[in-house]
Structure 1
């Protein structure tokens, strides 16, 4: 069996998960190279996992002709530049979301992706589409089981326990803010489920417990209401201060019924009985909740290369989700109703 040789850039929380999947869980992939600006990370992973090549310079990794594909899991602000460089160097490319932090750079990246799409695979990391529950909900909708969609409601809440780490990251690396960094997954799902692009957005939010968010011109917790071009509606809540854990929930109200995904963000099927009563424990992070989805999307990327086909998630999904996320950000910052460009 031919193995696709991959180099990954970015070894943070998510990058490390992707690297482990490529190195140990994808039979037809080989993690041949790793890259991080943190030299100690590269040296540690190389030694512990036996990775052949280690780099602290991305451009140097792109000179490695043994590689077939580049996996981008670096901070969001580097995505577009790194995508373009990797494609122009002749590699297949997977990039984590978002495609870009600004619409102009996302459009430029899309032009390059489309230039090479006949020869190279490009995939964007909207992993929720590969989660079994979300995929099942989409299947039920396509079957017409609950009629036509009317409204989608999405919660995306990060655990309070991650706050210290996030603020440290945000002060040193621009993430794009709450709507582009966090809510982008829900905005993509809404486009996917509702079968339409956004038309108008109104977003609000604030810094309620952590004033540092105001200093960052960002929201600790925010919400947005979206009108889609086909007349359907979306309500989105995103936050970084969820006391009970990692809470991602989606509800789709249709003309003949309703679908809900993860109404209670349960860790597993276990009920704990102790002195506090009966309780169901909650997931404590995105890596735990979407572990199988990350694996499935990575396997799909490798399969696309082997089978010489493009994935169902397109670069246009990245551009249009960025446009919607940026409109939410603009509305939050100005307090005005924004027409999505």
Structure 2
């Protein structure tokens, strides 16, 4: 196979970004079909990107003989069913996170992937494909900072987008699942270990609406991993300065910091406010290259007939950890992970 013909489902913010990437930025790939329940959006996007097939039904997309692979960027609650249906139809699948909105759904996705071992499945943990995170991970693996002692990661959304978070709160799974899954994945990736215990705290400091779902607008947790590495995660929905993701790995011989000062680019602005650096607007801007890199890896795996490093089991494990963090937050108690 010299070119992978891809159908993409979901044309929300990230879905549209993936469609545009596949249409013009992914080598050896062709965006052959798009699917969304919004027919006018499908028609407009297909015309703009030159897409052959247009669907408002996922079943029709899965049945399309011109499609080799499907990229799932639909609402989270649909992921598991669409993964299973696509693989049953003989399509390779790339799915955005989460794998499922419950651990039980993740297990169902595992069964679907296991039943079709001849097909490629990949989950979208895009931070692994960010150039800075890859560079730092290589240094950790090479032993350049010694043994990891502490992994610290922050994910903060801008306050100006809070109404969207409130609207999504009833089916988000909570802040640890909604916002910290990438931090959890990175913690496992960088430490090469799994969590043993977790203690979580937080509250509704500015937006009491989240309390109805036993959630907060800012939450944090401290985990002890099996290799004794300390892992501290913070997720916030009220950042005044913009989208902010930063990570630090402290080792016995050195320290790595990734985006410790969140900035849009290397430009400094000098004006009547003083000297400042602007922040990224959102996740699409901050991880634009990573979104390209991850789908490129998916396509490469199909062509080269190999499996990605990011597996369906990573999706299940991260969801299990996120829900355990949520349980610790709700109980206020130290919780031990099941081994």
Q: Which range, TM-score by smaller chain?
A: over 0.9
Name 1:123's counterpart in structure 2: 122
| Cα distance, 1:77 vs structure 2 | 1.6
Does the CA-based 8 Å contact 1:79-1:95 persist in structure 2? yes
Check the 8 A contact 1:75/1:175 in 2, yes or no: no
Alpha-carbon distance, 1:303 to partner? 0.7
Match of 2:326 in 1: 329
**Partner Cα distance (1:132, 1:89) in 2:** 34
Q: Between Structure 1 and Structure 2, how many residues are aligned?
A: 338
| Aligned match of 1:96 | 96
How far off its partner does 1:100 sit?
1.6
C-alpha separation between the residues in 2 aligned to 1:65 and 1:207? 50
1:161-195 CA-to-partner distances (Å, cap 9, x unmatched) read 22223333445xx2222111110000000001111
Distance in 2, Cα, partners of 1:200 & 1:12: 36
* 1:235 equivalenced with 2:228 (yes/no): no
CA distance in 1, matches of 2:328, 2:169: 21
Q: Which moved more, 1:161-170 or 1:194-203?
A: 161-170
TM-score by length of 1: 0.96
Corresponding residue of 1:162: 161
Structure 1 residue 333: Cα displacement: 2.1
Moved more, 229-238 or 206-215: 206-215
Once the two structures are superposed, the pairs formed by residues 76-155 of structure 1 within 5 Å of their partners are: 76-117=76-117, 119-155=118-154
Q: Kindly report which structure 2 residues correspond to 1:1-341, keeping only aligned pairs within 5 A, or say none.
A: 2-117=2-117, 119-170=118-169, 174-341=171-338
Q: Which moved more, 1:266-275 or 1:77-86?
A: 77-86
Whole-angstrom distance in 1 between the partners of 2:20 and 2:330: 38
Any idea what the Cα deviations from partners look like across 1:286-305, whole Å, max 9, x if unmatched? 11110000000011111111
Contact 2:146/2:251 (8 A) holds in 1: yes
TM-score when scaled to structure 2?
0.96
Alignment check: 8 A CA contact 2:169 2:210 kept:
no
Query: In structure 2, how many angstroms separate the alpha carbons of the residues matched to 1:170 and 1:318?
Result: 21
Per-residue deviation, 1:5: 0.8
| Residue 79 (structure 1) shift | 1.3
- What RMSD over aligned residues (CA atoms) do the two structures have, in Å? 1.4
> Does structure 2 conserve the Cα–Cα contact (< 8 Å) formed by 1:76 and 1:176?
no
> Within 1, Cα distance between the matches of 2:203 and 2:57?
38
How far 1:27 moved relative to its partner?
2.8
Distance 2:284 2:207 in 1: 24
Deviation at 1:213, TM superposition (A): 1.4
**Quick one: distance in 2 between partners of 1:107 and 1:216?**
24
Q: Would you say the 8 A contact 1:323–1:340 is kept in 2?
A: no
What is the alpha-carbon distance in structure 2 between the residues aligned to residue 208 and residue 335 of structure 1? 17
Counterpart Cα distance in 2 of 1:218 and 1:45: 36
Deviates more, 1:213-222 or 1:261-270: 213-222
1:114 CA drift (Å): 2.2
SS at match of 2:37: coil
